[in-house]
Structure 1
Amino acid sequence: MSDYPYADPLVDLADVQELARDLVVIPNRNVDLVPNIGLIGGTRAVLVVDTGLGPRNAEQVLRFATSYANGRRLYLTTTHFHPEHASGAQVFAGEATYLLNTAQADDLATKGEGYLGMFRQLGEPVARELEGVRIPVPDQTYDGTYELDLGGRTVQLRPTGRAHSKGDQVITVPDAGVLFTGDLAETDQFAIFPWFPPYDVDVSGIRWIEVLNRLTAENHQTVVPGHGATGNPQLLAQVRDYLVELRDETWRRRDTGMPEETTAAEIRTLMIERHPDWRLPEWIDRGVSCLCAEQP
């Protein structure tokens, strides 16, 4: 098993951020494989968005959510099926109602075990957090927008269609102007392309751009990304513009017959020059490979 060169992927409750009335985020503090986790409250219920990596992290989140809810009913949803977002869902069984869009439920059922195996190979700290994980089965699935009434506040759970994954969904809190994006948007890092042919080729750069165009047009006041700092309403446009750059630079070279390996090397250098402060440049190459396989 390879060494894991990053901080242990543990949820930290030290700096919970209040974004609006009865709406908080447990920030990921820029720790890899830790997502931003949301709690959205109404008079009758609280919705938890994402679980963290594995049961131990999810137990922390559940304890915090139970205290935060203070007797209110708990719901859980996840932005997509990748392990740092959904692999703690089993901990919520019997404590919260797990709501999930149909496409994400299918991702969990068909690809969940494969992703757990892949993540366990990242290093011992990750494998440790994934001990005992079971693929969760949602209590309720839906197609199209699901409106969840928490009591005096309605939250919208909206599948986007194929983009970062087949089962992506965003969570919107209309009265607060807050949008949870999952890994459709991340702050100050290169977009994660889970392009692993032949095992998983569901990510689509073209569709991802279309989704971000729609979300950008909605003019949300606060954006909670899958990873990285929360708040910047311009983040959706910034990620969209990067994906457009990546697409255009890739296709321009591909259409001249340049080999994919050369294309990736040139674009990696170019993107790092354009975004010198961004993290995780290793995802640039997978983005190039994905876009090389896509057609306008």
Structure 2
Amino acid sequence: MTDHQLPDPVVRISSAQEIARDVVVVPNQHAELVPNIGVIGGKHAVLVVDTGLGPENAESVLAFARDHAKGRKLYLTTTHFHPEHAFGAQVFAGEATFLVNQAQAEDLADKGAGYLEMFRGLGPTIARRLEGVRVPTPDVVYEESHDLDLGGRVVRLRAVGRAHSRGDQVITVPDAEVLFTGDLVETGRFAIFPWFPPHDTDVSGLRWIEVLARLVAAAPRIVVPGHGDVGGTQKVEAVLDYLRELRDETWVRRDSAMGRETTIEEVRAVLIERHPEWTGQEWIDAGVACLCAEHGG
């Protein structure tokens, strides 16, 4: 996934900020393998969105959520099954009800162990963060949608179908017009395509484009991406524009019968020239390979 030594992915609770009434985000501050984490409150309950990587980070998130809740019931959900988002959920057992969509639960069961081992191979710092981790099992599983009543505030959990992963879900706070996207949206970087054939080929560039088009149409006031800066609908639009650009540059070459490797090389060069300030250049190749596989239907 990366050739350089990754820094310690610490969730820094001290940076927490309220972005709407009783909606708090612990921003990732552009740190690799650190997600934006949400804490959403109602009169009777609080929902935590994502855990950070490993038990130590999750313990910090749980302590913060517990203090914020001040006796209110705790719930936990995760935007998708990838380790920095979900592999701290075991810490919440007995203190929060963990609920996710069916496809994400299947991802955890089918691919969780493999991703745990893959992430442990990213270096000693990441391996240490994952010591003692167990692949989490949700307490509550819903099919496609679930409205969670926190007391005077309903939070909508929606499975979007196959896109960045098989089990992506978005979390909406309608009364605050806030949308948590998980890794469907990331800012300041090339979109992450977890395209690892034959082990995992569930990412779909075409479906991802469809999902983002729907999110743009919903016009949320505040968007909390999986990683990167909080902003407005333009954060979703920027990723949608990039994915369309990636698809078009890939397919015009495949239409001309250009070989896969040459296509990857040419598209990589074009996109880096257009977005020289973005990080994550290593993910361009995987995105092109995925869209090559989707070319022609």
TM range (shorter): over 0.9
Match of 2:186 in 1: 186
| Greater CA drift, 260-269 or 59-68 | 260-269
Q: Once the two structures are superposed, what CA deviation does each residue of 1:91-148 show, in whole Å capped at 9, x if it has no partner?
A: 0000000011000000000000000111111111111101111111111000121000
User: Aligned partners of 2:215 and 2:139: how far apart in 1?
Assistant: 28
RMSD: 1.0
Q: TM-score, normalised by structure 1?
A: 0.98
Give the residue type in structure 2 aligned to 1:276.
P
Residue aligning to 1:109: 109
Secondary structure at the aligned position of 2:14 is classed as coil
Distance 1:94 1:131 in 2: 20
Partner of 2:274: 274
- Superposition pairs for residues 105-184 of structure 1, below 5 Å? 105-184=105-184
Query: Does the 8 Å contact 2:6/2:122 carry over to 1?
Result: no
Q: Distance in 1 between matches of 2:33 and 2:40?
A: 22
Q: 1:67-78 to 2 correspondence within 5 Å?
A: 67-78=67-78
Deviations 1:166-209 (A, max 9, x none): 00000000000100000000011100000000000000000000
| Matching residue of 1:18 | 18
Partner of 2:255: 255
Contact 2:11–2:52 (Cα < 8 Å) also in 1? yes
8 Å CA contact retained: 2:6, 2:125? no
Alignment match, 2:63: 63
The residue identity in structure 2 corresponding to 1:61 is V
Question: Which secondary structure state, in structure 1, belongs to the residue aligned with residue 276 of structure 2?
Answer: coil
Runs of 4 or more above 4 Å deviation: none
Q: CA separation in 1, counterparts of 2:3 and 2:235?
A: 32
Give the % identical residues. Answer: 66
- Displacement after TM superposition at 1:272 (Å): 1.0
The structural deviation recorded for 1:7 is: 2.2
SS of corresponding position for 1:35: coil
| 3-state SS of paired residue (2:220) | coil
- Alignment TM-score, normalising by the size of structure 2: 0.98
Contact map agreement 2:102 2:144 (CA 8 A) in 1? no
5+ residue gaps, structure 1, are none
The letter of the residue matching 2:25 is V
CA shift digits 1:225-274 (9 cap, x unpaired)? 00001123201111011000000110111121212111111111111111
> Counterpart of 1:14 in 2: which secondary structure?
helix
Q: Aligned to 1:265, what secondary structure does the other structure show? A: helix
For residue 25 of structure 1, give the secondary structure of its aligned residue in structure 2: strand
Distance 1:4 1:275, change over 3 A: closer
Cα distance in 2 for partners of 1:229, 1:237 equals 14
For residues 194 and 288 of structure 2, the distance between their equivalents in structure 1, rounded to whole angstroms, comes to 12
Corresponding residue for residue 209 of structure 2? 209
* Structure 1 residue 3 displacement after superposition: 7.7
- Which shifted more, 256-265 or 125-134? 256-265
CA distance in structure 2 between the partners assigned to 1:291 and 1:80 by the alignment: 21
Match of residue 232 from structure 1:
232
Amino acid corresponding to residue 112 of structure 2 in structure 1: G
Per-residue CA distance 1:58-109 (angstroms, 9 max, x = gap): 0000011100101000000000000000000000000000011000000000
**Deviation of residue 285 (structure 1)?**
0.2
Contact 1:98 1:138 in 2 (8 A): yes
In 1, Cα distance between equivalents of 2:139 and 2:4: 34
Q: Secondary structure at the match of 1:181?
A: strand
Contact kept? 1:3, 1:124, Cα under 8 Å: no
Q: Residues 150-170 of structure 1: CA distance to partner in whole angstroms, max 9, x if unpaired? A: 011000000000000000000
In the alignment, the residues of structure 1 paired with residue 231 and residue 20 of structure 2 have an alpha-carbon distance, to the nearest angstrom, of 11
